[in-house]
Structure 1
Amino acid sequence: MRISANSLSITLLGCCCLLPANSSAQEAVLDAKPASLTYSQLVWSDEFEGEELDRSKWSIEVNAFGGGNQELQIYTDRQENVRVEDGNLVIEARNDKAAVSGTEREYSSGRVRTKKRGDWKYGRIDVRAKVPAGKGIWSAIWMLPTDEKYGGWAASGEIDIMEMRGQDPNIVLGTLHYGDNWPRNTHSGDQYKLEAGSFADDFHVFSIVWKPGQIDWLIDGKRYQTQTKWSTAGADFPAPFDQEFHLLLNVAVGGNFLGSPDATTEFPRQMQVDYVRVYQ
C-alpha cells in the first residue's frame, strides 16, 4: 500500500504483513501433487528475446517520488534501471542519485506493468525470475485491477504473486488485499521458505492459478497455498477477484515494509525475468 504524504491518494506496491506460516501444514501441502493445470492455452507471453522492452506489452513507470510506503527509490525509464539483456528483462536498483523532473533521490529503480496491454480475468500466470538479496531490497511480482469497479485500494483487490524482503532471501510471500477502501482494508496470505539456499541463487517459477472463487500459489509448479475466502464492501463473493487484473514487476528500495539498506547492501541489485506466460 502506498499513501501520499500530501493527500489521501493511494497507489500500491504489494504491501503485506503476514503471520508466520504453519510449517507442518505447509510441508503437507508441499508434499502434495502439483496443482492441476486447469488453464492450458497460452494467451499472452514475453520471452524477452529482443534487444529492448516490447512497448506493445509493457509500459515503464516514471515516478520522481517512488512508490509510497516511505520507499527511497525514484522510478525511471533509463536503460540503467529497465532493459532487456541476454534474454532477460532486467530491473535494476542503483545507488546513483538519479533525477526525474528536477527531483533527485539517492536510489533509482524500475517498475513495469501490462495495464491495457495485458489484462486478464482468471488464468494461470507464470513468471520465471531470479530476485535480489540485500537488506532494504524489496522485489515484487503482483497484480492490480485494471478498472477499479469496487472502489479504491483495496476494495477492488490486489494479488501479490511474489514479494521478497532482501534481508530474508529464502522466504517469499503470497498475499491478497481486499475488503474496503483503505484504512478499512484487510489481507490474507502465507509464505514459502526454501529448505536451503536463497531465491537470489537461481531462477524460480512464481505462479498463481486463479479460478472463480479460488486462487492457488505455486513455486516451481508445487502449490504451497490456496485461498477461497475474501470479500469486498458492496459486492458479493467472488468479488473483487472477478474482474480483469494486470501484472506489475518492480524492485523497491527501503520503506516501512522492510527498512532501509545498510552498509551490507551492495548496489546495483537486479531482478532478472526469463519469461512471463499467461494461460487461460
Structure 2
Amino acid sequence: MARYDGAWVYASFIMPNGEPGILLLTVWMWDNATRWFAGSLAIERISGAGALLIGVETAADIAYIKTKVDTITTKLSDLDAKIVAIKDGVAVIDTKLGTMTATLSAINATLTQLIVGTKGDILAKIDTAVGTITAKFSDLDAKITKVSGDLVTISTKIGDVTTTLGDIKAKVVAIDGSVATINTDVGVIKGTVSKIDGTTATIKTDAGDMKVKLDELSRVTVGVPLFIYVITALSLIAAIFAIIAVVMIHRRMPA
C-alpha cells in the first residue's frame, strides 16, 4: 500500500516469511505513466523468536505479530504456527520465524473437555487457532467456583467446565474439629462438616455443599470434636435399634 502527500511517498508491505538476514528491496514508482523512479536499499528481516503473537483472524488467515521494532501482519498459514506449551497462562508457539508467545485470548483458546493424562492426572484439553493442546489446571489459574453434591464447576482463564468430584480426585485428607480439608487435582478445598445423614456427611464450603460417605471419613485423621460427634451419632442409632428390638421381643413374649 502507498500514499503520496505532495512531497513524499509512503509505502508498506508484508515481509515474506523466512530466515532472518539482509534482503535487497527494490522499488519502482510511476507518475501517471509519464515519469518513473527506481531505487534499492538493504533491509533486515528480523527473527520472530521472542515475538508476541497478539491476535489472529482465522477466517482471513491473518496473524498480528508484535516485535521489538513494530507490529506486523502476515498470513497465519505461512507461519506454520503450532502451539507447543502453556506456561503460567501464556501460550508458547513454534513458527517458521522462531518461537513466539501469545495470550490465550489472542489465539482464541477454548477449554473443550477434561481428559486423563498418562500419569492419571486430570488435564484440560484446549482448542486454539494454532492447534490443540492439553494443560495442567495450575497453568490456567483454575479455581473451583461451585460445588453441588457430587458436581463441581471449575473456572479458568478460558472458560468453565463442570465435572464430578471423583473426576478431580476429591479426597478428604483431614478433619480438625468440624473443619474438613479436601484435596483435589485443582486445589485444596476447606469446608465444615454440617450434617450427617445415615452414611453420608455433608461438608459446607464457600463454593457450595459437597457430600461424602462416612466410610471415607473413617480413613481420615479426625479431630476429637467431630470424632465424638460421629461416634455419638452412631451410638444413638445403635441404641435406637436396640430399643426397638427389645420392644418387639417384649411384645412377642406370652403374658
TM-score by length of 2: 0.21
Larger Rg over CA atoms = 2
Q: Which has the higher strand share?
A: 2
**Which has the bigger relative contact order, CA under 8 A and spacing at least 6?**
1
* TM-score (normalizing by structure 1): 0.20
